[in-house]
Amino acid sequence: MERKINRREKECEEKHSNSEGSEQDKDYKTSLITLNVGGYLYITQKQTLTKYPDSFLEGIINGKIMCPFDADGHYFIDRDGLLFRHILNFLRNGELLLPEGFRENQLLAQEADFFQLKVLSDAVKSKWEKEQLASRETTFLEITDSHDRSQGLRIFCNAPDFIAKIKSRIVLVSKSRLDGFPEEFSVSSNIIQFKYFIKSENGTRLVLKEDNTFVCTLETLKFEAIMMALKCGFRLLTSLDCSKGSIVHSDALHFIK
């Protein structure tokens, strides 16, 4: 008799547990929302879409705003489906996180305004303004002799991020050319200083040893800078010192996009 009672109690507990599990599954499924935004499907949780009260998405989910459905019964929003990825990431993370090189700030700001997300709209506009300001600022990189700053090369560009890339590339090239001589040059924010420069008949070169072994030339660094600029879509506006007669012999280069 006792075994039968225990068996019945066990069966009741299992039924109760299964009932609770099914209710939890049901609640979880109903919390998932599928949106069709411009032909792109996004699946997310209800709490994500309702994070900001009085936003367009919160209004749809809570029935304040009428929204059409597609053929599969998903909410349909006739907006940019690709850019909605960034809208959703903002709702998930609570901050603006964009991929490197993102160039659609104006479009994203319009999307943020449509979805009535003022915090996101302000963040995008602020980022855009900073980029516009930075693009108008001319920055430079100076490659020079630590003993004689008149010897060297100056690179000017209105894109600080590009100057940083050129700097990294020149440091990489210099290290490969100066293998075994780690103290032959130093790097600061906008200046790369080499330990020695001398003038020779073949041009300015680096002296690394007492026997005047030539390893790396300024012409090599100019070539690296020019090729990298052209590959990145920049053009050589002018040689800032035209008295030298050619780009190869110029003391400065000016790139612009």
DSSP character at residue 36: E
Q: How many helices (H) and strands (E) does the chain have?
A: 8, 12
Shared-domain flag, residues 81 and 55: yes
Calculate mean pLDDT across residues 241-249: 54
Q: What is the mean pLDDT of residues 166-170?
A: 78
What count of other Cβ atoms lies within 10 Å of the Cβ of residue 76?
Answer: 17
Instruction: State the residue range of the domain holding 211.
Output: 140-174+183-256
Residue 21 domain flag = no
Kindly report the pTM of this predicted structure: 0.49
Q: What is the mean pLDDT of residues 47-72?
A: 95
Give CB contacts under 8 A, 24+ apart, made by 109-113.
111/79, 111/80, 111/83, 111/84, 111/86, 111/87, 112/87
224 contacts: CB under 8 Å, gap ≥ 6: 169, 170, 173
Residues 150 and 249 in one domain: yes
Q: Does residue 7 form part of some domain?
A: no
The count of domains in the chain is 2
**Is 54:116 a contact under the CB 8 Å cutoff?**
yes
Residues 73 and 144 placed together within one structural domain of the fold:
no
Report yes or no on 3 lying in a domain: no
How many C-beta neighbours within 10 Å does residue 19 have? 10
- The verdict on 146 and 116 lying in the same domain is no
Backbone angles phi, psi at 247, to 5 degrees: -65, -40
Does the residue 242 lie in any domain? yes
Same-domain status, 108 and 194: no
> What is d(CA 139, CA 128) in angstroms, rounded to the nearest whole number?
19
In a domain, 4, yes or no: no
> Are 144 and 120 in the same domain?
no
Examine the domain organization and report whether 222 and 207 are in the same domain.
yes
Residues 164 and 209 in one domain: yes
**Predicted local distance difference test score (pLDDT) of residue 178:** 59
pLDDT more than 70, % of the chain = 63
Is residue 104 in some structural domain? Answer: yes
Whether 1 is in a domain gets the answer: no
Residues 102 and 155 in one domain: no
pLDDT band at 208 (very low <50, low <70, confident <90, very high): very low
- What is the tens place of the pLDDT at every residue in 173-203? 666 655 555 556 777 777 777 665 544 445 4
Q: What is the CATH number of the domain that holds 131?
A: 3.30.710.10
In a domain, 120, yes or no: yes
Most confident of 22-26, 145-149, 180-184: 145-149
Tell whether 148 and 214 lie within a shared domain: yes
Question: Are residues 163 and 140 in contact, defined by beta-carbon separation less than 8 angstroms?
Answer: yes
Element (H, E) at 226: helix 218-231
Same domain, 106 and 191: no
Q: What is the pLDDT of residue 224?
A: 77
Neighbours of 174 (CB within 10 A): 23
Domain boundary among 77, 110, 135: 135
Residue 254: alpha-carbon gap to chain centroid: 25
Residue 124 confidence (pLDDT): 94
- CA–CA distance, 15 with 135 (Å, rounded to integer): 67
**163 and 123 inside one domain:** no
